Amino acid sequence: MSIIVDNDPLDQVDGSASFEFGATKVMSSVTGPIESARPRNELPTKAYLDINIRPSSGVPSTRETLLEHKLGQLLPAVINLDQYPRQTIQIAVQVLKNGEPKDYTARQLVAIINSVFVALINSGISLKSSFMATCCSINTKGEIKTSPTSSDLANSVSHFVVVYSIKDQQVDNLLFCDGLGTFKQKQLFDVLDHAASEIHLSFQHIRQVISSHVSHNYIWKA
Q: Which residues bind other proteins (CB under 8 A)?
A: 9-16, 27-29, 31-35, 37-38, 50, 52, 54, 56-60, 80, 83-87, 90, 92-94, 96, 121-130, 165-169, 172, 207, 210-211, 213-215, 217-218, 220-221
- Phi and psi at 175, nearest 5°, equal -95, -30
Name residue 146's amino acid.
T
CA 106 to chain centre: 11
Q: Write down the least CB distance from residue 35 to other proteins, Å.
A: 4
Contacts of 124 (CB under 8 A, 6+ apart): 14, 15
Cβ closer to other proteins: 96 or 188? 96
Decide: residue 88, CB within 10 A, 0-12 exposed, 13-18 middle, 19+ buried: buried
Cα–Cα–Cα angle for 99, 72, 46, nearest 5°? 150
Cβ closer to other proteins: 128 or 184? 128
**Are 108 and 95 in contact, with CB atoms under 8 Å apart?**
yes
C-alpha dist (Å) from residue 153 to 2, 115, 159, 169: 18, 21, 7, 30
Cβ closer to other proteins: 88 or 147? 88
Strands 87-97 and 48-54: parallel
Q: Write down the least CB distance from residue 116 to other proteins, Å.
A: 12
Cβ closer to other proteins: 42 or 190? 42
Cβ closer to other proteins: 111 or 144? 111
Q: Write down the least CB distance from residue 187 to other proteins, Å.
A: 28
